[in-house]
Amino acid sequence: MKKITIKTELDAFDSLLEMTKADQELMAQAKIACSKAYAPYSKFKVGAALLLENGKIILGNNQENAAYPSGMCAERVAIWKAHSDYPDVKMLKMAITIQAEKQVIKSPVPPCGACRQAIAEYEVKQETPIEIFFMGEEGAIYKTASLANILPLVFDKDML
């Protein structure tokens, strides 16, 4: 037996002001999407903004349903809408932000496991990484250059 070590590297920004203007704008779009989320049950709103290679920004937010688990996460809403509307256009960057009614979240909130798998599908399909920025309501913003950094052992088409 041997041990395998997997390391993850993320960039951490102390504030939005440390980011490029374009990345700040992408995060601002994620905040707009977040404000429109439908989260009457969890009271935990999530917004995502996805920058495409053609310059379009696609927004998504979480959509809950009384019949759990019929709802959908913001990241998957955005990524599937992007592919539905622009199937041959590469996805470059995604910004994710949250707003919780019960408390102020001060640490970055990454995509859930199901969203990581969905994002991984498109990184593999387009053969290029998707940068992901994620934050809480306050505090640091994390950036990963690829979904593979936060889901290093991805399940993909080659395993089928």
Query: Considering the entire predicted model, what is its pTM?
Result: 0.94
Please report the pLDDT score of residue 123 as a whole number. Answer: 95
Nearest to 124 by CA among 143, 151, 95, 97: 151
Give the integer Cα–Cα distance in Å for 99 and 35: 8
Given 64, 75, 123, 131, which residue is catalytic?
75
pLDDT tens for residues 100-124? 999 999 999 999 999 999 999 999 9
Q: Output the average pLDDT for the chain.
A: 95
Other beta carbons within 10 Å of 39 = 20
| 75 in catalytic set | yes
Give the integer Cα–Cα distance in Å for 62 and 96: 11
Please report the pLDDT score of residue 69 as a whole number. Answer: 83
